[in-house]
Amino acid sequence: MLRFLTAGESHGKGLIMVIEGMPADLALTEDEIAVDLRRRQGGYGRGRRQKIEQDRAEIIAGVRHGRTLGSPIALSIENRDWVNWTEVMSVGAAEGEVERVTRLRPGHADLAGTLKYDFDDVRPVLERASARETAARVAVGAVCKRLLAELGVSFRSHTVRIGAVEAVVPADIDWAAVEASPVRCADAAGAQRMVEAIDAARDAGDTLGGVVEGRAEGVPVGLGSHVHWDRKIDGRLAQALMSIHSVKGVEIGAGFTATRLTGSQVHDVILPRERWTGRPWARATNHAGGTEGGITDGQDVVVRVGLKPIATLPRSLPSADLATGEEIPAHYERSDVCVVPAAGVIVEAMMAIVLAQAALEKFGGDNIRETVRNFRAFEATTGPRDLRE
């Protein structure tokens, strides 16, 4: 079973990740992980923190001579900003009195977290609840992408909307242009309007949310299962994506758009053999987003994720003080104006983690060669009966 844990606080010494269940002999380097960590730190609308941190994951266990050992993989990301927080976030007892944070921020875990854990200071909650933790997920996701690449799976994402500005998404997306776009948008004109909307929100001391789309291409048929609620791949994807900071909605495939259409317009017609151009059992459309009955159906897995505006505003919202209950402006340290462009990279990571878990459940293997052999043997059985090897 593939699983992972992360540890670390936003202004602590760093982030730690442990990944268990990765097959042995998978080629893996720190440079490969660094690619997605850089992508996560980019995007128009990010705050000063991204200029301080230059995230790079150090592999500290589970890899030898560039290949996984089959033992747990341990990764570490240094928080460069730690030097400015050594007293506030000291592991040992502080020498002097450390100022408590009691000004609660609406939209954060501040109030619910302090009540749940019986703190008199918001700092212990906000540090772990911070989206800084997503750097750890992106690193784990990058490792899972390496595994899935051995099965021919790749990942993309792009920005669909920021605030009220909607992109006109072309049928054939230029992914190089998406990566070059300051807001990771496939629509150049829409991207410019998104930049202007972010600027306007920054000038007003406000923040913006939006929608990103994630795609997994080349996903094998048969991941997940219809037999239990917790094995359905679409349910597992939805849970993972909803766990990302600021995410308030998830669609798979046509999602809520499908609710306005008829069944004859929505369901993906299965094409006859003469119209297949690649894999068997091609479809005329992909409104289902690559899953049917809780199982991947061999088409691209497509998700859309809606993110609320960031809850930490320079123009602080009215709030109440944790200690007194009296009215007071919400706490503000620093924040991004818009994280939507970077969120696509985090969406890719969570998709990769879920699909890698499901792939190893399906194909197994203690060594990556065994996993690939099992995958190829299964793929040979998925065509019509008279085409099976």
Q: Which two tokens stand for residue 128?
A: 């772990």
Report the topology of domain 3-253+288-387.
Chorismate synthase, AroC fold (3.60.150)
Q: Report the alpha-carbon distance of residue 10 to residue 34 in Å, rounded.
A: 19
Mean pLDDT for the chain overall: 94
pLDDT value, residue 388 = 58
Phi, psi of 164 (to 5 degrees): -95, 0
pLDDT tens figures, 180-215: 999 999 999 999 999 999 999 999 999 999 999 999
CA 227, 228, 234, 237 torsion-angle sign: negative
Range 266-289 burial, b when 16+ CB lie within 10 A, else e: bbbeeeeeeeeeeeeebbeeebbb
pLDDT value, residue 317 = 86
- pTM recorded for the entire structure: 0.95
What percent of the chain has a predicted confidence (pLDDT) above 70? 97
Q: 175, exposed or middle or buried, with CB in 10 Å at 0-12, 13-18, 19+? A: middle
pLDDT tens figures, 303-340: 999 999 998 888 888 999 999 999 999 888 777 899 99
pLDDT value, residue 362 = 98
Q: Report the alpha-carbon distance of residue 247 to residue 170 in Å, rounded.
A: 25
Per-position pLDDT tens, the chain of length 389: 999 999 999 999 999 999 999 999 999 999 999 999 999 998 888 766 555 667 999 999 999 999 999 999 999 999 998 999 999 999 998 877 888 999 999 999 999 999 999 999 999 999 999 999 999 999 999 999 999 999 999 999 999 999 999 999 999 999 999 999 999 999 999 999 999 999 999 999 999 999 999 999 999 999 999 999 999 999 999 999 999 999 999 999 999 999 999 999 999 999 999 999 888 999 999 999 999 999 999 999 999 999 999 988 888 889 999 999 999 998 887 778 999 999 999 999 999 999 999 999 999 999 999 999 999 999 999 988 776 55
pLDDT value, residue 116 = 97
